[in-house]
Amino acid sequence: MSATTEDARTLAPRPSGGITQSVKDSLVIARRNLIRMSRIPEMVIFGLVQPIMFVVLFTYVFGGSIRVGGSISPQDYREFLMAGIFAQTVTFATAGAGAGIADDMHKGLIDRFRSLPMARGAVLTGRTLADLVQTTLTLIVLAGVALIVGWRVHENIGKVLLGFLLLLLLGYAFSWIGALIGLTVRTPEAATSGGLIWLFPLTFISNAFVDANQMPTFLRHIAEWNPFSATVQACRELFGNLPPGFVTPDAWPMRHPILASVLWSVIILVVFRTLAVRKYRSAAA
């Protein structure tokens, strides 16, 4: 072995390895993505427009004609609705995560990251953490809009914060689905389409906007076991937003929505993080 080769190996940066290195690398990538988002504020603005439109449309257009439980009160529906809007907002961030990773792949940025001595999963973890920060900001603004249109909570601050933590956990878990989609498709446009097309049936065949008890039997069973529905039901209980006369379905996730929400989110997170990191490694090989 030549002296030149030995010197190159000595000077080449090496990762320290382990969890500590992975955390450091992930935070560096997250910071890079947050700086990028701050320089493109329209990304955040456009991410807010859609949920605000849903709040206004469902509150003022459909609010007086949709029955939930034994109530037809627009105020009761307004409070019933907001947990569904919050959950839809955090899951729709999936498309943004997928498009961002697909864009980095398309521009060759991911290839540059692969050449660096960093943990393999750090690129994806950093991206999803940055998306989590953006989702948190979006939820804060959306909660303010909800309060303006009449949404109220009727439980203590601890339960309310737990509800928002469940929402963020669900959103973070779904961002890994977006990461896998972004690594699989060839263009950001395909990642956006692929990230949204399956979310519409997931969110609408649920208890987000209507009382699942009023659905046809086969749709009701799907809605009751939908991971999305578990988080929505948990948030309604934690926010105190279940309307008078509401009958809780007999399905286990609806009877134990907080536990079901955590279990569903953790399962989705573990499965899709594993698949996404494996996809990243195989593409790097």
> Each residue of 11-24: pLDDT tens digit?
434 444 567 777 88
For 192, the enclosing helix (H) or strand (E) is helix 188-196
Whether residue 5 is contained in a domain is answered as no
Provide the pLDDT confidence category of residue 8 given band limits of 50, 70 and 90.
very low
- Residue 65: Cβ within 10 Å count: 9
Q: Which residues make beta-bridge pairs with 68?
A: 71
Whether residue 11 is contained in a domain is answered as no
pLDDT over 60 (residue 265): yes
Q: What is the pLDDT of residue 95?
A: 81
> What does the block give as tokens for 2?
């030549």
Residue 49 or 73, more confident: 49
What's the mean per-residue pLDDT of the chain?
Answer: 83
DSSP annotation string for 46-85: HHHHHHHHHHHHIIIIITTT--BTTB--HHHHHHHHHHHH
Highest mean pLDDT out of 15-24, 181-190, 257-266 = 257-266
> What does the block give as tokens for 217?
């039997």
Tell me if 99 sits within 8 A of 195, measured CB to CB.
yes
Domains identified in the chain, total number: 1
Q: What is the pLDDT of residue 175?
A: 92
Q: What is the pLDDT of residue 171?
A: 94
> Each residue of 85-107: pLDDT tens digit?
999 999 988 887 788 888 877 77
Q: What is the pLDDT of residue 1?
A: 45
Whether residue 247 is contained in a domain is answered as yes
Average pLDDT (131-159) is 90
Residue 117 CA to residue 17 CA, distance in Å, equals 9
Provide the pLDDT confidence category of residue 2 given band limits of 50, 70 and 90.
very low
Q: What is the pLDDT of residue 10?
A: 41
Average pLDDT (40-57) is 77
> Each residue of 200-245: pLDDT tens digit?
899 999 998 888 888 899 999 999 999 999 999 999 999 999 888 7
Whether residue 10 is contained in a domain is answered as no
> What does the block give as tokens for 273?
């993080």
Residue 111 CA to residue 105 CA, distance in Å, equals 7
pLDDT over 80 (residue 136): yes
Q: What is the pLDDT of residue 71?
A: 61
Whether residue 8 is contained in a domain is answered as no
Residue 85's nearest CA partner among 146, 169, 166 is 146
> What does the block give as tokens for 96?
């943004």
Which domain covers residue 136, as residue numbers? 18-284
Whether residue 110 is contained in a domain is answered as yes
**In this predicted structure, which of 4-8, 115-119, 129-133 has the lowest mean pLDDT?**
4-8
> What pTM value is reported for the model?
0.85
Tell me if 202 sits within 8 A of 91, measured CB to CB.
yes
Residue 242 three-state SS: coil
Whether residue 1 is contained in a domain is answered as no
Average pLDDT (142-171) is 93
Give the contacts of 90 (CB within 8 A, at least 6 positions apart).
135, 139, 167, 168, 170, 171, 174
Q: What is the pLDDT of residue 9?
A: 40
Whether residue 12 is contained in a domain is answered as no
Q: What is the pLDDT of residue 227?
A: 94
Q: What is the pLDDT of residue 17?
A: 53
